[in-house]
Structure 1
């Protein structure tokens, strides 16, 4: 058991972000960390912010901290030992389910003079390694080091084996562009040269900071983007009331503009993410905001100051904007008082702002030294592929693959944003099939920055090139007129590009049905030579591990031969994504405990799969609980190497598979990635029509990896 205590040098250092970021970095190394905040410093009785965010992001249980009133009372009564004993009890409660625990220390401040001393006692009581968390300024190395030095004294100084490192948060003075937000854990963003230079400057006055004994484990830049509040966060701080709440929970204030001059000179301020501030009697500003929103520009919101709120007649003119979600606030504060309040807004992440918490978590984790993490974990854990590790591997492998992926739904907003992310991060080279002017218009309205090398192809300019090849591909089934007509569908056009090796994969389905995406693939791409059918898998991102479910989307009632093939395809897919497959053939009966045609089919499929692929760990028939729950597996199938340990689940038919995946997804709030099609000559993948931008990004990454896997397989056969 390892415990890491994060000790801040003061307020405003980003302690919550540091805890969440370290937890995520560990998860990406295959280790699920527990979290504990033993002592609350909140005087009000409310849910602890860090604990609540940790529970939401990791889906892990934690415990409530000891209330502030109890902490101060026991310290005042000389009962510090009893207080620490309670902290140890909470720690042991978390330790039952985790091999490593992150503990959040107390903030030293003017009110709580006991914080540093209690942190020191807590480190001893929990036998914890200590990470000092501080803010920094690149141009003030000595002053930054002095803050760390002040805390080190409480833990035995620089020579103590209690201290494990220093994490510098909210670092100012770093070059522009260093504060980009990663899609997932991305160690390539770590500022190695900047860190080395900063450490060298520190060591001119504090030689021990940055050594092997006390390494600097991360230099996290200050990010304006990650410090931005939502519109909903402004109301309480500004004593404001809602005229229209709209999308206040989603819209973020990237920047703000006070409109004081004539409206004709201020129109350049009405851009995506802008908070428009104006006196409430400026009807022209209200109307301009409404017009901008109606034209598709997602302003952060409108903040009206002084005087009275606009009357209903004026608001009637803005109904179109209000229906599109424009948040409108009114405060009786003066414009100057409003500006002051905005400047004093806290940088801390609100409990309910989970989107920002997720971004901050990925951002911080990407700046933590991977080598330090590996040393910390060395020899102490049995890593498994966690959901975070799966997503990390997905992105890293796709970057390495460098594939071209065509997106037929090229003017769809989520697809455009996903393509921009993939292109800028090198996840794939994306090709949007759409009118370039339509893509630019959508990007402008949604404040999406299009990378210069993002490829946008007008379908009308290339369609004719594919008429003859399509007639040849479907010889005897269609003529030129029919081919030309079918190629009006950009999914068919993109599939032809894939068939002719002009791209490496295709992703569609954000606005098309599964049939629209899959049918052209069946007709033009067809199955790989070694397979007789196409099937699908979902990657189910459970809290502690990633499971593979197949087939839940394509084959209604496969026979034994087909079911064996689905199992083999799914096992190979699992391997391609870093999962060591243990395959369970699911049935309503385990072993020979039941009988019937359905059970017999699964038994035959298991035998066929074992014969075809003796290298695979496969067993069946197994009931789902016997496959997934260790105690049930030992009871029902004691000789099985799969029972109780399965991570690839093959369902006997589509009815069972689709029902199970949806039940698990919805009831357990599990993220599912897929369906990923397998068995095709070239990779084509379908999206849910409710897909989020991240879902599309991960599906593009998944498609790129499939393409690379197929290239490697062909090369292996050729040799």
Structure 2
């Protein structure tokens, strides 16, 4: 029977979308096919479903998501009764349930629905669907006692109506009351209760949402600038010196369009990072001249400047009525929401209460979810030397919002902050260090000169070397000031790993440093090695790569079955290349009899059971290999790229193995999600090394 979970409430304004998004995140970690059902829907776009569909790559047809619109439901209930209404909705629910392993049900929104006793309808639908229930109570603007009382009453109401309430949520409570509310409710409720504080960034509208609501015209600004959250509004009227003192981080400056001094001054402040603003909104349909606009564009490229027709007072009234919404166009809000959910909800307990069996298939999304969850469970610090690179900053933003790890960025501090401000990224939670001016530079120079004394490196020479961000970051890892490093978005592989070879060096049990890629296929994850570091390993080195790759696979939840690849299977071929693979296989068997390994073996016999049944019917590896070791870099690199492009696989890596401490390289074409995944892997490697130590 399909499991389902019903997220509902007791009134509007509870911010329930955060909980619905968080539950979807949990479900997609466990199963491949999650359906969505919204029993009743308003006319117009469904922002939350659009977000779920884009973020979780849902293939569900939108027409199957909805039961009835509210007008139709009200008519049916009035003319034919509640039983008929429920019957129709149950039929439509089961149409979805037949197609999916789990269904997330989005309860009614209590907003102008004209349905009597809406809470009871939600409760009955949950019971008829056989769904577990998560009621959400909104606490914005309420006292601590009021939140506690409403939460207890909501539990009693749903429980009295026969619902399987698995957890309660009090959302958007005053941050200063959160701990007190959580403690009191824990003692008064028979089920867990998550208490989430109000997060201003979630309710703050983006500049794009403001422009749309006010019917404005974008004079300057790019997509990243329009995606910034307007955390505050500062209205211009004072002289420039006093006005600048009133600016706050993330504010939207609202000023008449003829105040060019305030426009230029606020953008100059943004450019200097004192403070970074969300943008400028010009009222009265007044627009600065072309020369001012050109100057503004040079001062703060990408920062939005928008013109609206209304005056300051009516514009202010509209602005204060706006509230940000989660949707597909606000991915950073989604990251903030998930970070909030994962911090304040006991996700492991909730998954247990949902009793959703994990799929036997491991999809790319499930693998990526698992990386973030594992890294978050024991936070490490990762240093990112490329602190002014857009993709790196966007990845850091995601990692910090989700609470995956602590981040240190390297680079000129003003340049890093300016770039972050231009991208609308808040780096408050990150450490930023300039290797050129850091007090650590002298210490690192002395350490490096000692490590490279045999090469004639003096402290004076080392002082220049360690100012390089790659060397500085590597020394941070070596000295325990960071747990791992990720670089390579703009630096070459050599520039990233050479400092690691010189400073961190290989593990005592590793002959060489090598690499693997996690190849996330549609239904499983394979480990490919070595596809990035060693051009033509000999038999001993190939054996070492295989042993290291098996350990890496096991650390990330892949049961290692090693295939030593060649153009020949078993004893069918001969020659130097095949003999190298055969010798490497025997070395592994002698050194690690506990590992399942087969070689030489062709790729098709390694991964396809029908081919394996013909070529190696007695093998425990053939047809089900999970770790595939290529005989040389030429074969490995070309194969991983062919599979990535032709089969639509997600390639996570390269992940370096064999170093004493984790340092990982990025492809210079890495996407933001690739960087996020690699940083999470690095943090997990650091966890493993700490556990081993």
Matched, 1:394 2:375: yes
Query: Contact 1:586 / 1:623 at 8 angstroms: preserved in 2?
Result: yes
1:129 aligned partner: 132
Q: Structure 2: which 5+ runs fail to align?
A: none
Query: Contact 2:446 / 2:462 at 8 angstroms: preserved in 1?
Result: no
Q: Using a 3 Å threshold, how does the CA distance of structure 1 residues 461 and 16 change in structure 2: closer, same or farther?
A: same
1:166 aligned partner: 168
Q: Using a 3 Å threshold, how does the CA distance of structure 1 residues 4 and 415 change in structure 2: closer, same or farther?
A: closer
Deviations 1:6-52 (A, max 9, x none): 22223322333212112323455x455713124351313x5x43333
**Secondary structure, counterpart of 2:97 in structure 1:** helix
Query: Cα RMSD over matched residues?
Result: 4.4
Deviations 1:606-648 (A, max 9, x none): 4443333222233455665665577877787665544565443
Matched, 1:308 2:286: yes
Matched, 1:5 2:6: yes
2:560 aligned partner: 581
2:317 aligned partner: 340
2:110 aligned partner: 108
Aligned length: 672
Displacement of 1:542: 5.9
Q: Using a 3 Å threshold, how does the CA distance of structure 1 residues 248 and 607 change in structure 2: closer, same or farther?
A: same
2:450 to 438, 463, 469: 469
Segment drifting more, 538-547 vs 100-109: 538-547
2:96 aligned partner: 90
1:567-716 paired onto structure 2 within 5 Å = 567-586=546-565, 602=581, 604-620=583-599, 639-642=618-621, 645-662=624-641, 672-689=651-668, 699=678, 702-703=681-682, 705-706=684-685, 709-710=688-689
**Distance across 1 between alignment mates of 2:168 and 2:465:** 61
**Distance across 1 between alignment mates of 2:396 and 2:328:** 31
Query: Contact 1:255 / 1:274 at 8 angstroms: preserved in 2?
Result: yes
Deviations 1:236-277 (A, max 9, x none): 211212212423443221222111212221012445422111
Matched, 1:358 2:362: no
Deviations 1:504-558 (A, max 9, x none): 6554435432111222333454433433221012345667765433222111233
**Distance across 2 between alignment mates of 1:423 and 1:162:** 35
Displacement of 1:224: 0.5
1:27-106 paired onto structure 2 within 5 Å = 27=28, 30-31=30-31, 34-44=34-44, 46=45, 48-64=46-62, 65-66=65-66, 68=68, 72=72, 75=76, 78=80, 80=85, 81-94=87-100, 98=101, 100-106=102-108
Query: Contact 2:413 / 2:434 at 8 angstroms: preserved in 1?
Result: no
Displacement of 1:341: 1.4
2:143 aligned partner: 139
Displacement of 1:3: 1.6
Query: Contact 1:248 / 1:327 at 8 angstroms: preserved in 2?
Result: yes
Query: Contact 2:326 / 2:333 at 8 angstroms: preserved in 1?
Result: yes
**Secondary structure, counterpart of 1:317 in structure 2:** helix
2:302 aligned partner: 325
Query: Contact 2:373 / 2:404 at 8 angstroms: preserved in 1?
Result: no
Q: Using a 3 Å threshold, how does the CA distance of structure 1 residues 39 and 583 change in structure 2: closer, same or farther?
A: farther
1:237 aligned partner: 213
Deviations 1:457-491 (A, max 9, x none): 3465346524752453436xx67887666556453
**Secondary structure, counterpart of 2:171 in structure 1:** strand
**Secondary structure, counterpart of 1:366 in structure 2:** helix
1:119 aligned partner: 122
Matched, 1:551 2:530: yes
**Distance across 2 between alignment mates of 1:339 and 1:408:** 42
Displacement of 1:658: 2.8
Deviations 1:356-384 (A, max 9, x none): 22331232233223463254255944687
2:184 aligned partner: 197
Displacement of 1:5: 1.6
Q: Structure 1: which 5+ runs fail to align?
A: 179-190, 204-209
**Secondary structure, counterpart of 2:166 in structure 1:** strand
**Distance across 2 between alignment mates of 1:428 and 1:255:** 28
Q: Using a 3 Å threshold, how does the CA distance of structure 1 residues 645 and 194 change in structure 2: closer, same or farther?
A: farther
TM score, norm. by length of structure 2: 0.81
**Distance across 2 between alignment mates of 1:368 and 1:93:** 29
Displacement of 1:303: 0.7
Query: Contact 1:26 / 1:373 at 8 angstroms: preserved in 2?
Result: no
**Distance across 1 between alignment mates of 2:411 and 2:70:** 63
**Distance across 2 between alignment mates of 1:222 and 1:253:** 16
**Distance across 1 between alignment mates of 2:502 and 2:431:** 34
**Distance across 2 between alignment mates of 1:131 and 1:550:** 44
Segment drifting more, 128-137 vs 563-572: 128-137
Displacement of 1:333: 1.7
**Distance across 1 between alignment mates of 2:212 and 2:614:** 57
1:185 aligned partner: none
Query: Contact 2:445 / 2:462 at 8 angstroms: preserved in 1?
Result: no
**Secondary structure, counterpart of 2:175 in structure 1:** coil
**Secondary structure, counterpart of 2:184 in structure 1:** helix
**Distance across 1 between alignment mates of 2:248 and 2:650:** 34
1:202-351 paired onto structure 2 within 5 Å = 203=188, 210-211=189-190, 215-246=191-222, 247-270=224-247, 272-295=249-272, 298-321=276-299, 324-351=301-328
Q: Using a 3 Å threshold, how does the CA distance of structure 1 residues 542 and 277 change in structure 2: closer, same or farther?
A: farther
Query: Contact 1:387 / 1:543 at 8 angstroms: preserved in 2?
Result: no
**Secondary structure, counterpart of 1:533 in structure 2:** coil
